[in-house]
Amino acid sequence: MEIVIDKEMTVNQLASIFHEIYPFLRIEVYHRGQEVSNDCFHALHEISSMKKPASFSIMSDMTIKQVEDFFWEELGLQVAVFRKVGNSWLHTAFTNNWTLERQNRMGMNIFGAIA
């Protein structure tokens, strides 16, 4: 599954599309070290640290580290991906070499085991 990350996309749109494709993952965007709410309607290029941010695509076979690196290198934005575990969201730092698909599947499996 591909998500086209367009610099004109709002933080809200990014969070919504990401959650629609990966329901057991959540992406958070940071601006100047502070989390930008997923209810934010600023376009990604408006909060980018780059003068000419680029658009790019992320695929389900990309690792979390690759996704986070792409956001930094192409848009100048720091992002973090979290996985649902029960009623909590855990940062995927220890498993950032897993793909988006694997992270989402693990969240689904954990959720099913808890439910």
Residue 115 belongs to a domain: no
| Mean pLDDT within 71-85 | 94
Query: What distance in Å separates the CA atoms of residue 30 and residue 1, rounded to the nearest whole number?
Result: 24
Report yes or no on 12 lying in a domain: yes
Beta pairing partners, 82: 26, 91
Is residue 6 in some structural domain? yes
Instruction: Write down the pTM of the prediction.
Output: 0.89
- The CB-side HSE value for 46 (13 A sphere, CA atoms) comes to 9
Pick from 100, 93, 115: nearest CA to 3: 100
pLDDT of 38 over the 80 cut: no
Over residues 14-23, the pLDDT tens digits come to 999 999 999 9
Q: Which domain holds residue 16?
A: 2-110
Count of structural domains within the chain: 1
